[in-house]
Amino acid sequence: MAREIAKAYDPQLIESKWAEFWSSGNLFRADPAAPGPAFSIVIPPPNVTGSLHIGHMLNHTEIDILTRWHRMRGFNTLYLPGMDHAGISTQRVVLKLLADQGIDYRALGREEFEKRVWEWKAESGGQITKQMRQIGETCDWSRERFTLSPEYSEVVREVFVRLYEEGLIYRAHYLINWCPNCLTALSDLEVTHEERQGHLWHIRYPLADGSGHLVVATTRPEGRVSEVIAPAKL
């Protein structure tokens, strides 16, 4: 008797089955010694701050299609999976989790807090890997990497030192986004910008010879005042 074909497509039943078959068979493992042209692409590593969203899925689908296309053309292909530690963002997630449990992270001490962060990384990273495997991404899972792995950290330090010695990176004074809670600098991508109605202050500075005053308009009076007071203290 012929098996009845389901009228509706069930992705949970079909996709997970074949994804497991592909993964367990190591069908997508790259072989450096294999002959022929090579194609290698690295996944933009998702942050270990939760789970994948629809934006990740769109990006991963495009990469996977490109990888499969080269594989079918006979290329020795590598689709390298990995995750990004996203230091400050991950720290914020863990801080919130601890706060929800009524735990002051400062009372934990550095070692215990780092332990909690690594526990979260294992949980979040495991969820991300599960999602990627479930949708059948053709990654070489034997090569999975993490941006905070010791070998990667060593390479990053070497590159930064090399760039510094070549004069391509340097220290300088800039206006930065400062987080009063984390006590660290934030990038523009990590800041929620908000427009507010400002106010123009007019500050009158007396001239040194007593002949009159100079009026300066500014939206940051604290900056202007400090410029005058600081030299006076010196």
pLDDT, tens digit, 9 for 90 and up, residues 51-100: 888 888 888 999 999 999 999 999 999 999 988 887 788 888 888 888 88
Please report the pLDDT score of residue 1 as a whole number: 55
Look up residue 137 and give its amino acid.
E
Q: Which two tokens stand for residue 131?
A: 């999602």
Pure H helices in the chain: 11-24, 54-72, 87-100, 105-108, 110-134, 150-165, 221-233
Identify the pLDDT of residue 227. 52
**What CATH number does the domain located at 11-168 have?**
3.40.50.620
Give the Cα separation of 65 and 147 in Å (integer).
25
The boundaries of every CATH 3.40.50.620 domain in the chain are: 11-168
How high is the pLDDT of residue 75? Answer: 92
pLDDT at 140: 92
pLDDT of residue 96: 86
What pLDDT is attached to residue 65? 95
d(CA 167, CA 177): 25
Burial of 152 (0-12, 13-18, 19+ CB in 10 A): middle
- Provide the angle, in degrees to the nearest 10, between the axes of the packed helices 110-134 and 87-100: 110
Distance CA 175, CA 218 (A): 17
Contacts of 194 (CB under 8 A, 6+ apart): none
Task: Measure the CA–CA gap between 27 and 29, rounded to whole angstroms.
Answer: 6
| pLDDT averaged per 10 residues in sequence order, the chain, 234 residues | 74 79 82 87 86 86 94 92 84 86 86 88 84 87 87 90 92 86 80 85 88 87 56 39
